Amino acid sequence: MATGLQAGTSAVALPVELGAPLMGYGLRTGGAEAFHDPLYARALYLQGASDCLLVSLDVCLIAPAQADAVRAELERATGLPPERIVVASVHTHSGPDTGLATLAAGKAPPDRVKALFAAAVRAGREAVSRAAPARLGLAHATARIGRNRRQAGGPLDPDVLVLRVDAARGAPLAVAYLHGCHPTALGPENLAYSADWPWAAGARIVEALPGANPLFLLGAHADVDPRTRGVKDLADTGRTRGVGFAEVEQLGREVGDAVAAAALAAKPEDTGAIAALSARVKLAAHAESEEDRAAALAALELPPDAKPGTNDFFRLETERTQGLAPAERRERIARVRRYLRGRMAKQFAGGTEAEVEVQVLRLGAARLAALPLEACVDVGLDWKERTGSRDAAVLSIANGWLRYLPHPRNFAEPAAHTHYEVLMSTFEPDAASRLLDLAERLDAKLGVELGA
């Protein structure tokens, strides 16, 4: 295989229809009523010493089985092994439903869901087929549109990792940018399809670099919301702080302008340092306990022999804690959520434990650890510290979604038992450390293979 860089890119519109359900907010009622901005499956293929393919969809979440199916289709179409294919989502909460609930119920999603992933396969196939001599540049930007939602003044990483890909003759092909902030400026009251703030960011990038395909990659974002929202407090459950499209556009423009400036200042070069590897590690899921069940029932003032379903617990936690002082309401809901964490964890893990994939990519100097979870800021900062590189970043919700991934220290913080991300995690507190341990080993192996 040639060691000079080749690259190809593609953007395929996602087929979405009015009236279909949107995904991301349990409080949302009604289907899609409008198209605000077009949604895409975007792909970037890079080939050097080895090769890799990144496919990113403007949807909220993708199940591991769905990502595996897309990767298998792409392997058949392109010959790339799945370990060198990443299927990610931008995590917009105003995108089409991808059928996760239907899959969890053991049923096949409707045809409109199949069409979304067919677009992803087409984008990946086209990107590979368009490979031609190219150059790759790495840069960094700073974005401050986010705020730690777990605790006021909590950790943030304002860095944006920027990859600029040009054709050998200099025309821009793609700008891939990775940042850790939820695309949740829009709230459940919004019934228009939108990629949220990455839509506006991408538009600004294209204005500055005409012809470039803007690929947003979601970083360690789990406890970071747009600054238009506040701390995510269990005592405020059932409320929202969504904003309109003018505010969404302002947030996106801030990111897009910073990314565009960094990309324009980058100096693309012909590099062959492209490689990817993946492996799996077995993680223990949170356990369901009778002690937690009894505490949850008591928090809702239900008899010990009551047998509410999962949805009943969520409904009753709102109904039966209304009117309580915030501190009391927060503690009672936390007891319910702790029980539900154990009850639901085995559903997402497929049992009491799961083999979770870790994928590591070397894209020039960039070193990405791709994980099928929503990583908290501290997980991303830990990865940078472990590699000793500013050019290292965690890519969240890659190749599926297994809920939240707090860092071990997040489980040990004061009031951690009331933090949404801890209560919505699937695996035991050591999960992030074990995933990053494996990522370190894969990254070291790639370094040897590339002679870096």
**Could you state, in order of their start, the residue ranges of all structural domains in the chain?**
6-277+356-403+435-450, 286-351
The confidence score (pLDDT) of residue 3 equals 66
Report which secondary-structure segment, H or E, holds 230: none
Q: What is the mean pLDDT of residues 262-271?
A: 95
- Mean pLDDT, the chain, rounded, equals 96
Residue 403 has a pLDDT of 98
Compute the distance between CA of residue 193 and CA of residue 176 in angstroms, rounded to an integer: 22
pLDDT digits (tens, 9 = 90+) for 115-165: 999 999 999 999 999 999 999 999 999 999 999 999 989 999 999 999 999
| Predicted confidence (pLDDT) at residue 31 exceeds the cutoff of 80 | yes
- Token output for 203: 């538009």
Position 280 scores a pLDDT of: 98
What pLDDT was estimated at residue 180?
98
272-291: per-residue pLDDT in tens?
A: 999 999 999 999 999 999 99
Could you report the per-residue pLDDT of 319-358, keeping only the tens digit for each?
Answer: 999 999 999 999 999 999 999 999 999 999 999 999 999 9
Mean pLDDT computed over 95-119? 92
Which phi and psi angles does 181 have, rounded to 5°?
-155, 130
* Closest C-alpha among 182, 193, 183 to residue 37: 193
Overall average pLDDT of the 202-218 stretch: 98
Residues 6 or more apart from 443 whose CB is under 8 A from it? 360, 362, 367, 369, 387
Q: How far is CA 452 from CA 1, 103, 238, 270, 279, in A?
A: 18, 42, 50, 16, 21
Higher-confidence residue of 182 and 237: namely: 182
Residue 1 has pLDDT above 60, yes or no: no
Structure tokens at 147: 């705020």
In this predicted structure, the answer to whether residue 84 has a pLDDT above a threshold of 80 is yes
The helix-helix angle for 197-208 and 245-265 (nearest 10°) equals 40
Distance CA 429, CA 345 (A): 13
Which of 322, 338, 37, 47 minimizes the C-alpha distance to 202? 37
Distance CA 354, CA 405 (A): 14
